[in-house]
Amino acid sequence: MNRSFASLSAALLFLSTVTVSAERPNIVLIFSDDQGVNDVGCYGSEIPTPNIDRIAQEGLKFNNWYSASSICTPSRYGLLTGRNPIRSQDQLLSALMFLADEHKQRGLRSHETTVAAQLAKAGYQTALLGKWHLGHGDAKFLPVHHGFELFRGHTGGCIDYFTMTYGRTNDWYHNTKIVPHNGYATELITDEAVSYLRRQKKSDRPFFLYLPYNAPHFGKGWNPSKNETVNIMQAQASDLKRVSFIEDKIRREFAAMAVSLDDGVGRILATLEETELAEDTLLIFLTDHGGDPVYGGSNTPLRGNKATLFEGGLKVPCVMRWPGKIRAGSVSDDVVCSLDLCATFCELAGADSGSTDGTSLVSHLQGRSNVPPRDLLWQTGSHAELNRGQWTAFRRGPLKYLQDSNGTEYLFDLKADPNEAKDLSQSRPQQLKQLRDAARKRIEELRP
C-alpha cells in the first residue's frame, strides 16, 4: 500500500509538473522606438500598421498604458527590471550617449536583475535581438551578462540603418563580438527573429524573445565634411512610396520607417503560425515612450512629447495577443505601466520576480479582475548635451502632479481632462501640495 501510494504520488507530481510546464507560454515582446500614440493605426494614426492592428483585433488593446520613462535608457531599465529607474545605481534617468567618455562606465549593474535572468532560472530560453541601450563602454554591460543567452543587435541609442554603425563606429554584436553588417536594420532584426522562432519549433523549452527595434527612431549617420555624427531619417525608397499621401517630408519619412517595422511584425505573426507556436505564445507590441515631432513622431491629441512628462511623453500604444487566454477584441482602460511586465512574465513562468515596483497583470489579461489602483512616479535627469532639464511627475488616482524642467508646477485631473489642457495648480493648492510632498517622499525612498 505504501509503495503503491508513493508510486501514485510520484506519478501525480510528474503529471502536475508536465502540466505546469505545458501551460507556461512563450513570450515575444516587440518594443519599438520613439513611436507615439498617434503613430499606430489602431490608435487613430494615418500611418497604416495592419499587422500591429491585427494583434489588437485578435487580443487586447490598452488605452492607459504608461512607459517607465519618457526617455530611452530609463524606459528600458524599468521595462527589464520592473523597478523604477530612480532606483538604478548609476541613476539612469537620461539617455546614455554612445560617444561620451563619461557614459562608458555607466549602465545596468550586475545586481540589477532583469526579467530575462529570472526567466532563465525558471528554464526559459532568452534572446535579445535589436537595441540594448543599457550600457556600452564595457563588456560587463552587454545583455549576455544580464540574463540573455543570445544577443544580436546594437548597444547605442541609435544606429545607421544601412551600415549598422554609430556614425562610423561599428556597433553590431553577436553576443560579445562586434560583427560588421550591411543591409537594413529593421529587416536584419526581423530576419534574426524569424530564424530564432523557426529553431524553437523543435524545442521542449519555452522562450522569451525580446525584440527592441530601433525603428522608427532616426538613424545615426556620419557627415565627412564636418567630421561628426548626424541624425538622419533613413527610410527605404519602396517604403516611401507606400506613404506618399503624407505631405510633410519628415512625417512621411518617419511613416515609411514605421511601415517597415509593421512589415516586420507581420513576419513575426506569420512565423509563429508557420511554426505552430502562435497558440502557446503571449505576443506583445509596445513602444518605449512618446514620439518626437522633430523627427516625425506624433502624440496627438495628448500634450507633450518624448523627454517630457506630460501624457504625450509617457502614454504609449500597447497591444497583446494570447489565443485562448486573452479574449479577442478586448479593450482595457485600466491604468497600467511597463513596470508591470516583469511581475507578469514571472507569474506566467512560475519564476521569482524578486522585488519590483510593478504588479502582475495576469488576472487582468484573462479578464478576471481590474488592475488595483496605485501611485505612479516618474523622474527624468538633466542632460546638458541634449538641452534637457529634470522633470518629475506623480499620479495618484485621476490626479497628476508635474514639475517641468523650469520648475513650473502643474496639477491635472486626468479623468476630466485626459489631454492636460487645464492646469488646476492655482485652484487646488492643497491637493497640489499633497501630491508634491508624496512625490518627494517617494523619490527619497527609491533613490539608492
- What does the pLDDT look like over 187-200, one tens digit per residue? 999 999 999 999 99
CATH annotation of 390-448: 3.30.1120.10
- Residue 140: count other Cβ atoms within 10 Å of its Cβ: 13
What pLDDT is attached to residue 387? Answer: 77
Tens place of pLDDT for every residue, the chain, 448 residues? 343 333 434 433 333 333 344 489 999 999 999 999 999 999 999 999 999 999 999 999 999 999 999 999 999 999 999 999 999 999 999 999 988 888 899 999 999 999 999 999 999 999 999 999 999 989 999 999 999 999 999 999 999 999 999 999 999 999 999 999 999 999 999 999 999 999 999 899 999 999 999 999 999 999 999 999 999 999 999 999 999 999 999 999 999 999 999 999 999 999 999 999 999 999 999 999 999 999 999 999 999 999 999 999 999 999 999 999 999 999 999 999 999 999 999 999 999 988 899 999 999 999 899 999 999 999 999 877 777 889 999 999 999 999 999 999 999 999 999 999 999 999 999 999 999 999 999 999 999 9
- What does the pLDDT look like over 351-383, one tens digit per residue? 998 889 999 999 999 989 999 999 999 999 987
SS3 62: strand
- What does the pLDDT look like over 60-104, one tens digit per residue? 999 999 999 999 999 999 999 999 999 999 999 999 998 888 889
Query: Pairing relation of β-strands 26-32 and 281-287?
Result: parallel
- Do residues 394 and 439 make contact, with C-beta atoms less than 8 angstroms apart? yes
Q: What are phi and psi of 286, to 5 degrees?
A: -150, 150
Q: What are phi and psi of 127, to 5 degrees?
A: -145, 145
- CA-closest candidate to residue 439, choices 380, 356, 378: 378
What is the grid cell recorded at 440?
A: 518627494
Matching residue, cell 492607459: 64
Return the domain boundaries, the chain.
25-375, 390-448
- CA-closest candidate to residue 136, choices 105, 159, 114, 179: 105
- Residue 29: count other Cβ atoms within 10 Å of its Cβ: 21
Chain-centroid distance, C-alpha 372: 22
- What does the pLDDT look like over 310-342, one tens digit per residue? 999 999 999 999 999 999 999 999 999 999 999
- Do residues 161 and 219 make contact, with C-beta atoms less than 8 angstroms apart? yes
Alpha-carbon span 157 to 73, nearest angstrom:
8
Maximum distance among all Cα pairs of the chain, rounded to whole angstroms: 87
Q: What percent of the chain has pLDDT over 90?
A: 90
Alpha-carbon span 260 to 47, nearest angstrom:
11
SS3 346: helix
What pLDDT is attached to residue 16? Answer: 36
What pLDDT is attached to residue 428? Answer: 98
For 25-375, the fitting CATH number among 3.30.465.10, 3.40.720.10, 3.90.1310.10, 3.40.50.2000 is: 3.40.720.10
Side chain identity, residue 31 = F
Side chain identity, residue 141 = F
Q: What are phi and psi of 157, to 5 degrees?
A: -75, -20
Alpha-carbon span 376 to 22, nearest angstrom:
35
3-state percent helix, strand, coil for the chain, nearest multiple of 5: 35, 20, 45
